[in-house]
Amino acid sequence: MPRNWQRGVMRVMRIPNHPVTVTAVHDFTPWYRRVTFSAPDLVKDLDVFPTLWLRLWVPHPAKGDGYVSQRGYTLVDVRPDAGTFALDFVLHDVSGPAGDWARQAHPGEELEVALTPAHIGLPEGTASVLLAGDVTALPAINTWLEAIPPEVEAAVWVEDDHEGRDGLPRTDRAGTAWTWVEREGPRGAALAEAVAATAPAPGRYAWAAGEKSLVQAVRPVLRDRLGLDRAHQFTQFYWIEGRSTG
């Protein structure tokens, strides 16, 4: 029986866990890996919307035998007909249970996931979308680009200094401007500067996610420099440098 007190809380909240089985592992780059899972019951009636994410329960051997921890990952390539979905893992150098699990993932392995969907969508009258973050936000950015209507402009800004970025998966969407920003100084500083320098765009909506200090650098730019109120921007911390999720 997997151990973790949070599983008890989620049971009380009636958030179910779903079994999933690894069916394929694909490396886009040595540090960006897609793991495909079979989960027919989960995906058959799934309401898929941009940035939809799940909690993946991964073994956490450092916390004891049978202990599992939950980590957030974004659903990509959901295929109800095939009964599959995938998660894209940034394989980071510092050890963590999810990254460690993904490094050794192989077909046939079984895990559990839980969904707590918080619906997100574009406000009425959106004419242009700005998507920003680090590479952990790339899966979510790709889901945005699949959903943004063709008449809406989209621009992507990603701060990253990995090598081999050309191999990464990107949703092919006409007219989307992609900009990769090299990290300079504190995390998020170069990204915030680049976003601040964008030309004004009427009807703009902005979304940003990634490491905490990166998001903290971008958030005031969206609010103060681009003048976007709460209805026209959304930001989320995905991970914290130097700190395990727990």
Ligand X SMILES: Cc1cc2nc3c(=O)[nH]c(=O)nc-3n(C[C@H](O)[C@H](O)[C@H](O)COP(=O)(O)OP(=O)(O)OC[C@H]3O[C@@H](n4cnc5c(N)ncnc54)[C@H](O)[C@@H]3O)c2cc1C
Interface residue list for ligand X (CB under 6 A) = 53, 71-74, 88-90, 92, 94, 96-99, 136, 139, 238-245
Q: How far is the CB of 69 from ligand X (least distance, A)?
A: 7
Residue nearer to ligand X on the CB measure, 90 or 131 = 90
Residue nearer to ligand X on the CB measure, 89 or 205 = 89
Per the listing, tokens 């621009």 go with 155
Q: How far is the CB of 233 from ligand X (least distance, A)?
A: 17
Residue nearer to ligand X on the CB measure, 88 or 157 = 88
Cβ–Cβ under 8 Å, residues 36 and 129 = no
Q: What is the DSSP letter of 166?
A: G
Cα 190 to chain centroid, rounded: 21
Residue number, nearest CB to ligand X: 96
Cβ–Cβ under 8 Å, residues 58 and 97 = yes
Q: Tokens in use for 16? A: 């179910």
Q: How far is the CB of 200 from ligand X (least distance, A)?
A: 29
Query: What region, left, alpha or beta, does residue 64 occupy, with left being phi > 0 and alpha being psi -120 to 50 degrees?
Result: left
- How many other CB atoms are there within 10 angstroms of residue 145's CB atom? 19
Q: How far is the CB of 243 from ligand X (least distance, A)?
A: 5
Closest CA to 56 of 124, 116, 12, 8: 116
CA-CA distance, 152 to 132, in Å (whole number)?
A: 16
Q: How far is the CB of 47 from ligand X (least distance, A)?
A: 16
Q: How far is the CB of 135 from ligand X (least distance, A)?
A: 7
Q: How far is the CB of 223 from ligand X (least distance, A)?
A: 21
- Residue 179's Cβ-count burial label (10 Å; 0-12, 13-18, 19+) is middle
Say which amino acid occupies 75: L
Residue nearer to ligand X on the CB measure, 127 or 240 = 240
Q: Tokens in use for 43? A: 């995906």
Residue nearer to ligand X on the CB measure, 100 or 193 = 100
Residue nearer to ligand X on the CB measure, 11 or 95 = 95
Q: SS3 for 113?
A: strand
Residue nearer to ligand X on the CB measure, 79 or 245 = 245
